[in-house]
Amino acid sequence: GRHPDPSRLRLCDRKPMSSIARRLGLWMVIGGGALLAALFATLDHLVDSQLHERFDGALVARAQAFANVIAAREASERQLVDAWPEFAPTRHEDFYQIWNSAGEVLGRAASNRGGDLARPPRAADAEPTLFDLTLPDGHRGRGVLLSVWPQPAGADHETPWTVVVASEREAVDAL
């Protein structure tokens, strides 16, 4: 017999795709979609981790620089506000608070607006300790707990002060 020209076959004359080919195609689409979703989730996690790590690193560096100024007692409260404008009363993203070894508040940022920062239940170590907290304005924040050994002229202190420097983290969390 004579074979008809394949381009002239009507749709109804064509054989339906085999069940194995249909399943294979479906599984390839599902597998490809799952792979893309997994890659996206992994990339999102890596980016989030890097953002939080950089945020924490910058917060620790700023807290240590601030603690060094506090320990040296070289600046008045007004000089602190001038040198650290992020702690001004018009700001609401950055905060600090200082306690003596008895737990009495020695100072707080004007941005605290009289509110207290949460003081972690544990004492400060030699190394900075990062922790999450609710800021005086009610926003979520990240804090650094530090021990500061004040050095006024001619005096040695046996107990350190506790300093917490905190920043709002909602913008970083939203990314």
What pLDDT sits at residue 58?
A: 92
Question: Which has more confidence, 151 or 136?
Answer: 136
What pLDDT sits at residue 154?
A: 47
- Residue 37 pLDDT > 80, yes or no? yes
* Average pLDDT score over residue span 152-156: 54
Residue with tokens 């050095």: 151
Mean per-residue pLDDT of the chain: 79
What pLDDT sits at residue 82?
A: 62
What pLDDT sits at residue 153?
A: 47
What pLDDT sits at residue 70?
A: 78
CA-only gyration radius of the chain, Å: 30
* Average pLDDT score over residue span 148-161: 68
**What does DSSP assign to residue 152?**
-
DSSP string, 61-93: HHHHHHHHHHHHT---HHHHHHH-GGGSTT--S
What pLDDT sits at residue 156?
A: 56
Tens-digit pLDDT profile for residues 55-69: 899 999 999 988 888
- Residue 152 pLDDT > 50, yes or no? yes
Say if residues 130 and 143 touch (Cβ distance below 8 Å): yes
